[in-house]
């Protein structure tokens, strides 16, 4: 506490880590986890990378004690910090671990939300294949197929694949996306499709050209006859 008041937070965190190790050695993992989480909160604003490490350690302690709800809550903090720091490869793995735990405890609606977060992260990594696979694998989660989350993600992937920025923006500005955790909502709002948003849809114009040409030729013919009659 004295070190905290003296604004020597890295030193305070080191002492808390040592204390947590002693708690673990003495068979009090709950106290160890609380200490590690406290250290993460202390350092989060000045050293997010260290906070990620501490929260991961805390999650591991809870997971070893089969306290999965507490573990996944800490993993959620890890994922958000990784997204905030643009460490997107690591974030994708962290969110997948969250999702696995939510499936294990049968919290399926939260799995849907984690799937949205995964897809946004993968698209920001420019990995459409991983995003599509993520949705496809989620069809096995009870209730996902036919949910509004599933429909929105299918629409998002279609718009992204077709380079339709309007469709992508419409999905990402929907309440389903905008009211997610702030870090993920920002990913949605800043998502830009490749190719500058130029639509890549099936060409209808070339098919219409012959009709247009015929019509033009007919009009020209009429003009010629009209001139001759005059």
- Confidence grade of residue 171 (pLDDT, cut at 50, 70, 90): very high
User: Of residues 9 and 4, which shows the higher confidence score?
Assistant: 9
> How many CA within 13 A on the CB side of residue 5?
2
Average pLDDT of the segment spanning 113-141: 97
What's the rounded Cα separation, in Å, for the pair 178 and 184? 8
Residue 137 has pLDDT above 80, yes or no: yes
Average pLDDT of the segment spanning 26-49: 90
Buried/exposed 4-39: b ≥16 CB within 10 Å, e otherwise: eeeeebeebbeebbebbeebbeeeebebbbbbbbbb
């Amino acid at each position: 506490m004295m070190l905290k008041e003296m604004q020597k937070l890295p030193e305070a965190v080191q002492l808390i880590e040592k204390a947590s190790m002693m708690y673990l050695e003495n068979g009090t993992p709950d106290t160890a986890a609380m200490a590690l989480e406290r250290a993460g909160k202390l350092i989060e604003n000045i050293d997010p990378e260290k906070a990620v490490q501490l929260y991961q350690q805390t999650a591991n302690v809870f997971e070893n004690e089969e306290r999965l709800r507490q573990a996944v809550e800490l993993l959620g903090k890890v994922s958000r910090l990784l997204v905030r720091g643009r460490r997107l490869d690591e974030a994708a793995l962290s969110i997948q671990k969250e999702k696995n735990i939510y499936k294990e405890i049968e919290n399926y609606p939260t799995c849907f939300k984690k799937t949205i977060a995964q897809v946004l992260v993968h698209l920001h990594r420019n990995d459409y294949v991983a995003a599509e696979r993520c949705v496809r694998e989620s069809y096995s989660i009870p209730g996902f197929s036919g949910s509004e989350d599933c429909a929105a993600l299918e629409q998002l992937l279609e718009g992204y694949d077709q380079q339709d920025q309007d469709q992508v923006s419409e999905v990402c500005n929907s309440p389903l996306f905008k009211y997610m955790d702030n870090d993920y909502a920002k990913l949605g709002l800043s998502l830009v499709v490749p190719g500058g948003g130029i639509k890549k849809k099936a060409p209808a114009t070339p098919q219409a050209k012959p009709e247009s040409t015929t019509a033009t030729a007919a009009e020209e013919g009429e003009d010629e006859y009209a001139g001759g009659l005059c």
